[in-house]
Amino acid sequence: MESGIRERMGTIIAVYRGSRLIVNPAPQFILKKGDVLILFREVAQ
């Protein structure tokens, strides 16, 4: 199942999972409840 996060919110650059920081998660990375996403999104000016 595709999440569509990149299209809707931006690129995931890291994920906090508990006390772990996962940097640059692979496209097939599976998000879990409680994960905290760090996103990058370019804003049009």
Render 1-45 in DSSP notation, one character per residue. Answer: ----HHHHT-EEEEEEETTEEEES--TTPPP-TT-EEEEE-----
Q: Are strands 20-23 and 36-40 parallel, antiparallel or unpaired?
A: unpaired
Query: What is the identity of the amino acid at 33?
Result: K
pTM: 0.78
- Does 35 map to a domain? yes
Q: What is the mean pLDDT of residues 8-24?
A: 94
In a domain? residue 45: no
Residue-number span of the structural domain to which 32 is assigned: 5-40
Q: What is the pLDDT of residues 17-39, one digit of tens each?
A: 999 999 999 989 999 999 999 99
Structural domain total, the chain: 1
Does residue 23 lie within any of the structural domains? yes
